[in-house]
Amino acid sequence: MKKHLLCGLLLSLCVLFGAGTALARDGKVTLYSINHLQSRLLPAQITTKQPSPSVGGLSWAASVVKADMQKSANPIFVTTGEVVAGTMWRYFKGRPEMAALSKAGVAVNMLGKHEFDYGLDHLKEALSRTDIPIVISNLLTQDPDLEKSLRKNLVLQAGDMKVGFFGLLSPGIMRLTNRPKGVSLDPDLGAIARGMVADLRRKGADVIVLLSGLYDNESTALARSVAGIHVITGSGAPVEETDKPIFIDDPEGGTTVLIWSGVWAKFVGRLGLSLKDGKLDRQDTSWKLLPVSDRTAPDPGVLAVAVEYDQKLNQALKRVVGRFEQSIDARNKTLRSGEAPIGNFITDSFRWKTGADVALMNSGGIRGNILYPAGEFSERNLSDLLPFGDRLFVLTLTGRELRRALELSASALIREEGDDYDPLERLHTGAFLQISGLKVVYDLSAPPTLVSGDRVAAPGRRLKSLAVLRDGEWREIGDEDTCTVATTNWMVNGGGGEKYEMLRNAPHTEAGCFDFDAFVEYLTVVHGGRARLQREGRISLVNGRAKE
């Protein structure tokens, strides 16, 4: 009888804990985190008020972390993706960021949307340069090299505690990326999270941390529905840093804490995590934002990397790509209120480079928001003007689909007087399209298209005429006629909010170049490196003027 009781007890223990499963225990871990670094290795000035210290940057954040770690229990330093972005990422393919993260002492990293900005080959080259493990649990790929560079989860030692990490990126974020071929995100977040928690427990993790690229509602839902996650750090959206931790009860009586330390390493988040019987002790768990500014001495190793590549970038960006004979008006109020000469030039370059019949570019994809002076136009100017590195695609649209797209574009125009604009029911002004190979007339007194979420709730009637340039002549296009359309991957993905669904659903092929390539080649080859910008009457507005 005693033998049977003993066997039963042993069997119960095996079922409860599993081979290699961590026993519930007390303990402490100090988790340091930065989010959305976006290649900010040096501090930046974010206000015009004087005196104003520069803030953020990994060179200074690393110093803050290393100093604070000296007095912390079982410390570990993590990042949550989007460590790269913009011109630095485009030019150097992750060399400075990966080297700096390693010198900063980062223990684990994740992928975010900007890692996909320049395609898989660009990303894989960056991943080949890092010795920091990168976890992402819901990425699906057929690329063996990419797969080898990533981990579904892992357990790291922090003092006498074992900390398990897994990572999730919101499936909705992929529509904001270049959507590289051969990569997708599994949307079944709950099932994946449960599987990761179980696997990390089997591997002996005392603490389980989700490195999150999820939107806040997804993180909250996960915390409420999946037991065993102690910490969710990070966010898929660039929201303000969290000065107070958010505690959520999980379905089995445990607690998950949600934290977020903002962008660009303006703050380092320090979570003092306390466990009691394997569960987060809410009363003994603390969260603090450690400010990062140039008033702190920088970390010399990280600073050396940052300065080296900042100097290289400054040198590269001095290169002159051409000249413009008058100032370039790249202000939002110009681009988002009608035809803009720089919009004409950019879309002309797309049409020329791809050989398409027409070209479209969302005004929100043209940045800078300044007047560039006449004269030399440098790589730095170009990186400000077209910062996203969008790839070009050629779509095939019917006349009916093209009209629908332009009607949507017209709804983004805000009439100066008498327009009851509601951003929840209309397209954002940045969705207004600059065009090439087309002539349109918009009536601002007519009803605009109304939207609800990603759907068209009520079609508009602002588009009064449309002509396509064919064989040197302006011609109407029939509903069933087709034309080829050059545009960016952003627009092929539906324009962010996917309201341009006719573009997302259209047959398309990749043109094999980026927006900035088309710009430079068009300026050099067609214009001999010297161009004059002008309005050409491509977009005419009647019954009112538009404002940004």
Query: For 460-476, what is each residue's pLDDT tens digit?
Result: 999 999 999 999 999 99
- Dihedral of the alpha carbons of 411, 359, 118, 144, in degrees to the nearest 10: 100
Cβ atoms within 10 A of the Cβ of 307, count? Answer: 15
Q: What is residue 494's predicted lDDT score, i.e. its pLDDT?
A: 82
3-state helix, strand, coil in the chain (%, to 5): 30, 30, 40
Burial tier of 12 (Cβ tally within 10 Å: 0-12, 13-18, 19+): exposed
- Quote the tokens at residue 174: 């992929």
Burial tier of 9 (Cβ tally within 10 Å: 0-12, 13-18, 19+): exposed
Contacts of 479 (CB under 8 A, 6+ apart): 398, 399, 400, 403
User: Which CATH superfamily groups domain 320-547?
Assistant: 5'-Nucleotidase, C-terminal domain (3.90.780.10)
Domains of the chain, by residue range, sit at 19-313, 320-547
Q: What is residue 22's predicted lDDT score, i.e. its pLDDT?
A: 58
Cα 538–chain centre separation? 32
Q: What is residue 474's predicted lDDT score, i.e. its pLDDT?
A: 96
Q: What is residue 11's predicted lDDT score, i.e. its pLDDT?
A: 40
Cβ atoms within 10 A of the Cβ of 472, count? Answer: 5
- For every residue of 47-70, DSSP letters joined together read --SSS---B--HHHHHHHHHHHHT
Question: d(Cα 523, Cα 534) in Å, to the nearest integer?
Answer: 15
Q: What is residue 390's predicted lDDT score, i.e. its pLDDT?
A: 87
Q: What is residue 50's predicted lDDT score, i.e. its pLDDT?
A: 54
Cβ atoms within 10 A of the Cβ of 506, count? Answer: 20
Are the C-beta atoms of 257 and 231 separated by less than 8 Å? yes
- Quote the tokens at residue 265: 């390493």
3-state secondary structure of 276: strand
Q: Which residue, chain included where needed, has tokens 């570019």? A: 361
- For every residue of 355-415, DSSP letters joined together read T-SEEEEEGGGS---SEEPSEEEEHHHHHHHSTT-PEEEEEEEEHHHHHHHHHHHHHTPEE
Which stretches of the chain score pLDDT less than 70?
1-23, 45-52, 175-179, 238-239, 496-498
3-state secondary structure of 489: helix
What's the Cα-to-Cα distance from 178 to each of 2, 84, 109, 205, 379, rounded to whole Å? 65, 15, 21, 35, 22
Radius of gyration, CA atoms only, the chain: 26
Question: d(Cα 381, Cα 268) in Å, to the nearest integer?
Answer: 32
Which amino acid is present at 150? L
3-state secondary structure of 217: helix
Q: What is the pTM of this model?
A: 0.75
- Quote the tokens at residue 323: 């000249």
- Quote the tokens at residue 485: 């359309």
Are the C-beta atoms of 100 and 306 separated by less than 8 Å? yes
What are the backbone angles phi and psi of residue 9, rounded to the nearest 5°? -65, -45
Burial tier of 272 (Cβ tally within 10 Å: 0-12, 13-18, 19+): middle
Architecture of 19-313 per CATH?
4-Layer Sandwich (3.60)
3-state secondary structure of 85: coil
DSSP state of 520: H
* Residue 384: its H or E element: helix 379-385
Question: d(Cα 548, Cα 543) in Å, to the nearest integer?
Answer: 17
Question: d(Cα 97, Cα 312) in Å, to the nearest integer?
Answer: 14
- Quote the tokens at residue 489: 């991957």
Q: What is residue 452's predicted lDDT score, i.e. its pLDDT?
A: 85
Question: d(Cα 166, Cα 232) in Å, to the nearest integer?
Answer: 10
Are the C-beta atoms of 396 and 482 separated by less than 8 Å? yes
DSSP state of 365: G
Count of residues making up the chain: 548
